[in-house]
Chains A and B, each alone.
Chain A
Amino acid sequence: MINNILSPVGWQILSVAACAAGACGILGAQLVLRRKAMMGDAIAHGVLPGLVIGFVLSGSRDLLPMMVGALVAAIVVSTVAEWLRDRAGVDAGAALGVVFTSLFALGIILVEIFARDVDLDPGCVLYGMVELAPIHQVEWFGQSLPRSLTPVLGAFVINIFASLLFWKEWKLCAFDPELARASRLPFRKLEQGLLVLVAITSVACFEAVGSILVIAMLAVPATIAHLLCNRMSTMVIVSTLAGILSAVLGTIGAEQFNTGVPGMMATSSGLLLMGAIFLAPSRGLIPAASRRLFWALRVEMEDILAESYLLSEGTDETGNIDASEPREALPPARLTFSSMLLRGSAGMLLGVRGYLRDGVPVGRGKRIARALLKKRGLWRRFAAERLGLASDHLDEPAHRIEHHLDDEFTRRIESGLDSEES
């Protein structure tokens, strides 16, 4: 359908898709922060009767009456669901489910009754017609632009302005609704306004990209951003960018696989989400797992060095640890496959780096072992003198904590102990 993404036609499709995705991405961040991610789904389904009634009353496929109808329906969804939750004690998810599925059913019946002979089939609302965007053109500032760009671009701009305007208020509402209520902010109006914006955005995007895309783009880019960011400002920006990136990838994918743009956009946003789950720098599964692995390797290497140092020297010259002194038996480490593998690879790494030769730590290895033993001794003293632990409770925590003491902390313990003695 799209022959070349770089052709003018390809650009126009891409611009419509990207604007829609960006508009949804901005608001999606707000929804995800409020744990209302399913609101997108609910509104996308629940506006159907509003669309149909707007269409029937106006008798045309003009955007405005349908938009008004959809807005009313969206407000009905959110208000009734909230009312059911707060006043009638229905579970929040169930309340939303009852309202939007009922409205959707009503919408389908209305379509069957009123709109059977005209082309307002539910499929059109679902899939959208982004590929047909270049067919209807409008003149804008002397440029010929696709007609469906107008609503999505409008929604994008409105959302940007609204976000900037209500930035502080929305932030408060998202993170501390109790404070927002208590500080005389028009809390309900702000939240309703957000949902109205969601409704406007969904309706603007329906014609261009279809409701599936609205559902996916309200939820997925924001979730990606939620994985990557810790601040609302970066989250909103990343969410918007992730939406636009899915639009680009989706358009290219649709061209490659010869299928529809909205579906491919949702799919590529899903792939991006998977990427974020596995690779996000601080929270991704793979970085977190590798950090744990490196830490375990370091601990294992330090332990081996310290043990072999004690064995080879017989005693520690710092005088803190005496190998000949009968020590309490540490609980034997469980010999599992992974622990053996870890020990083996730690030993091999030490050999390769030249820290350990014939079971004797040399050079840097020796220094590491000494530093570790010093820390162990320090902690034992600290625990005995300051924390008042019994002498048979000193070794095990010292063994564990010695790996976590950095230089600064060691110095502080040292000076603390010294000042006590003096």
Chain B
Amino acid sequence: MISPNTLVILLGTTALGTCCGIIGALMLLRRRALLADAIAHSTLPGICIAFLLANSRSVVALGTGALVSALVAAALVAWLPRVSRIRKDAATACVLGVMFGAGIALVGLIQRSGSGGSAAGLDGLLLGRTAGMLRSEALIFGCAAIVMSLIVFALRKELLVSCFDPRFGTSSRIPTRSIDLLQTSLLAVTIVIALPAVGVVLTAALVVIPAASARFWTDRFDSLLRISALLGAGSGILGTLISTSHPDLPAGPVIVLSATGFFAVSLLLAPRRGLLSRHLLARSRSRKRTIRHLLDAILDAQLQGQMQIAIAQIPESAHCTDLRSIEYSVQSGWVRREGDLISLTETGRIRATRARKALEIWREWLTSEASIDRDLIDLDEVEIEKILSPELIDTLQRSIDERERS
């Protein structure tokens, strides 16, 4: 069974995933996903300076240093595009490159200036060591997750406004700038806490991936936060379980790859946005279009006096000589089939007439009222008879009639 040690790690990574998931969702909505990467890299010089000043590896000193330099980095990324023509992406990349480079230079300085022995662990921050998580660290993660959830829950309305419509926020006296600052600070704190456990790049991964996966499942703010937190926690749990059963796999990367796995699942299976459901939707659309063409072609024949039409007689241009859609229409009770001859049933006739009338009226209205060129209208793409309700069709008919009278 699960040993106490594993349990500690499990709780820690779960809490960590939750934290990163929540803040990641906020960052994703503000299109600042890569800020996490820049901030995580930029903690290094702060850590080194704190080490040089305090001359110890105490968690408090190094954590403070990391936090300060994370905030400096975030401020620079926000400040550079405001005062110069540097764009957001270039600012992020520059801050990341320069601060991380400065950190590496400082690490080199510390290692070569004699006091190096105890500094050997500093670059361990790059990759982190989840397996060595202490009980106290797990406790910190848990507290951070609870505090962050409470803050985000308490301020969810303000956060929502500042994510989607900061101008409206300013006009309705919501301190969007402070909210902004709060978000960035939460991100910085999360990253600083997470660094020793999962390392620089993987912290960024935990912020970005669960949020991006959660976006597939929902369009609502609250549920985005909730799903993202859940996916973060889920990746923490799954990754930890896998890495404890395969001791030679490092936990941090495995957690990230679990998050990637969740991302892949979301990409494929999510309703509406997932690849599978998009594919199905496209197929059902094209099926419906074909059937409409088919019914229309038979209706044409009927209007010309033929009650039945042979499949081979349907003109090629109608794009509907697809046996499967004929089969489908027969099953749905719109078309009667006798050998090679097909004809419309009563429901099929009503359906076809209605579709044709709606289409004609819509086309008429577009050209006459909205004055759109007839050739530019691709009416195939819309299921117009579903969009236009019978009342709307009447209204349009009236407006066209009035126009013709005048």
Across the interface, which residues of B come within 8 angstroms of A223, CB to CB? 86, 90-91, 93-94
B86 and A258 form a contact (CB under 8 A): no
A95 nearest in chain B by CB position? B212
Q: A94-B28, A216-B97 are in contact. Are A38 and B89 (CB under 8 A)?
A: yes
Give chain B residues whose Cβ lies under 8 Å from the Cβ of A23: none
- Please report the C-alpha to C-alpha distance between residue A83 and residue B403 in the assembled complex, in whole angstroms: 48
**Contacts of A260 on B, CB cut-off 8 Å?**
104-105, 108
Determine whether the beta carbon of A91 is less than 8 Å from that of B104: no
Contacts of A73 in B (CB 8 A): none
Residue contact A109 to B37, C-beta cutoff 8 Å: no
- Would you call A269 an interface residue if the criterion is a C-beta within 8 Å of the partner chain's C-beta atoms? yes
Question: CB of B31 within 8 A of chain A?
Answer: yes
Interface residues of B in 203-262 (CB under 8 A from A): 204-205, 208-209, 211-212, 215-216, 248-250, 252-254, 256-257, 259-260
Contact of B102 among A126, A215, A266 (CB under 8 A): A266
A120 to chain B, nearest CB (A): 14
Question: Chain A residue with minimal CB distance to B260?
Answer: A102
B288 near A: Cβ within 8 Å? no
List residues 56-84 of chain B with CB under 8 A from any CB of chain A.
80, 83-84
A219 touches which one: B90, B102, B208, B248 (CB < 8 A)? B90
In the complex with contacts A262-B101, A267-B105, A101-B204 CB distance below 8 A:
yes
Query: Judging by beta carbons under 8 Å apart, are B89 and A263 in contact?
Result: no
Complex interface bits, B8-44 against A, C-beta within 8 A gives 1, otherwise 0: 0000000000000000000010011110110000000
Evaluate whether A98 and B212 lie within 8 angstroms (CB atoms) in the complex, with A219-B93, A258-B113 already known. Answer: yes
Let me know if B109 and A277 touch, CB within 8 A.
no
Chain B positions within 8 Å of A263 at CB level:
101-108
CA distance A106 to B257 in the complex (A): 7
- Whether the pair B94, A267 counts as a contact (CB closer than 8 A) is no
The residues of A that contact B93 with a CB separation of less than 8 Å are 37-38, 40-41, 215, 218-219, 223
CB A286 to nearest CB in B, in angstroms, measures 11
Q: Does B152 contact A (CB under 8 A)?
A: no
1/0 per position for A336-362, CB-CB distance to B under 8 A? 000000000000000000000000000
Q: Mark A205-248, 1 if CB is under 8 A from B, else 0.
A: 00000001101111110110011000000000000000000000
For B209, the closest partner residue in chain A by CB is A98
A259 near B: Cβ within 8 Å? yes
In the bound assembly, the distance between CA atoms of A89 and B87 in angstroms comes to 23
B100 and A97: CB pair below 8 A? no
B-contacting residues, A75-119, CB 8 Å? 84, 88-91, 93-98, 101-102, 104-106, 108-109, 112-113
Instruction: List the B side residues contacting A305 at CB < 8 Å.
Output: none
A264 at the interface (CB under 8 A from B): yes
**B28 to chain A: closest residue by CB:** A94
**Residue in A89, A90, A93, A213 whose Cβ sees the most chain B Cβ within 10 Å:** A93
Partner of B97, one of A32, A108, A220, A258: A220
Q: Are B104 and A127 in contact (CB under 8 A)?
A: yes
Which residues does chain B contribute within 8 Å of A84, judged by CB atoms? 267
Q: Does chain A have a CB within 8 A of B127?
A: yes
Taken together as a complex, chains A and B put the C-alpha atoms of A90 and B96 apart, in Å, by 23
**Tally of contact residues, A, Cβ under 8 A:** 63
Asked if A91 meets B28 with Cβ closer than 8 Å, knowing A98-B263, A102-B260, A265-B101, the reply is yes
- A217 and B94 alpha carbons, distance in the complex (Å): 9
Interface residues of B in 97-149 (CB under 8 A from A): 97-109, 112-113, 123, 126-127
- Other-chain residue from A32, A108, A269 in contact with B127 (beta carbon distance below 8 A): A108
Contacts of A123 in B (CB 8 A): 123, 126
A99–chain B nearest beta-carbon distance, Å:
9
Answer yes or no: A273 CB below 8 A from chain B CBs: yes
Q: Separation in Å of the B252 CB from the closest CB of chain A?
A: 7
Check B248 against A270 for contact (C-beta < 8 Å): no
- A258 is contacted by which of B112, B202, B215 (Cβ under 8 Å)? B112
Q: Are B34 and A97 neighbours in the complex by a CB distance under 8 Å?
A: yes
With known contacts A97-B34, A123-B123, A219–B94 Cβ distance under 8 A: yes
| CB nearest neighbor in A for B87 | A35
Chain B, interface SS category: helix
Q: Could you say which of A259, A269, A277 contacts B108, with CB atoms under 8 Å apart?
A: A259
Cα separation A260 to B123 with both chains bound (whole Å): 14
A223 to B273, CA, bound (A): 37
Decide if A91 touches B107 in the complex (CB within 8 Å). Answer: no
Q: Does A158 belong to the interface (CB within 8 Å)? A: no
* Cβ-defined partner of B204 (8 Å) among A97, A109, A217, A222: A97
Closest CB of chain B to A207's CB: distance in Å?
16
CB contact under 8 A between A215 and B260, given known A93-B33, A94-B33: no
A45 interface contact, C-beta 8 A: yes
Report the Cα distance A94→B101, complex, angstroms: 24
Is A188 located at the chain interface by the 8 A CB criterion? no
Let me know if A97 and B101 touch, CB within 8 A.
no
Cα A220 to Cα B205 in complex, Å, equals: 24
A283 at the interface (CB under 8 A from B): yes
- With a cutoff of 8 Å between Cβ atoms, the chain B residues found around residue A1 in the complex are 112
In angstroms, how far is the closest chain B Cβ from the Cβ of A395? 34
User: Which residue of B has the minimal Cβ distance to A106?
Assistant: B257
Give min CB distance, A50 to chain B, whole Å.
16
Given the interface pairs A98-B260, A109-B253, A212-B97, the reply to whether A266 lies near B104 with Cβ below 8 Å is yes
Contacts of A109 in B (CB 8 A): 249-250, 253-254, 257
**Do B89 and A35 touch (CB < 8 A)?**
yes
A288 and B383 alpha carbons, distance in the complex (Å)? 58
Q: Which residues of B contact A104 (CB under 8 A)?
A: 201-202, 205, 253
- A272-284 vs B, CB cutoff 8 Å, 1 = contact: the mask equals 0100010000010
B92 on interface, CB distance cutoff 8 Å:
yes
Q: Which residues of B contact A258 (CB under 8 A)?
A: 109, 112-113
Which one of B101, B104, B109 contacts A270 once the chains associate, using CB atoms below 8 Å?
B101
Q: Which 7 A-B pairs have the closest CB atoms?
A: A266-B101, A263-B105, A216-B97, A270-B98, A101-B205, A219-B93, A97-B208
Q: With A88-B267, A113-B248, A266-B102 given, name 15 new contacts (CB 8 A).
A: A32-B90, A91-B28, A91-B33, A93-B31, A95-B212, A97-B204, A97-B208, A101-B204, A104-B202, A108-B252, A219-B90, A219-B96, A263-B106, A273-B98, A283-B84
Interchain Cβ contacts under 8 Å between A and B, 10 examples: A36-B89, A37-B92, A98-B208, A109-B253, A212-B101, A216-B97, A258-B112, A263-B107, A264-B101, A270-B94
- Give A residues with C-beta under 8 Å from B: 1, 32, 35-38, 40-41, 45, 84, 88-91, 93-98, 101-102, 104-106, 108-109, 112-113, 122-123, 126-127, 212-213, 215-220, 222-223, 226-227, 253-254, 257-260, 262-267, 269-270, 273, 277, 283, 285
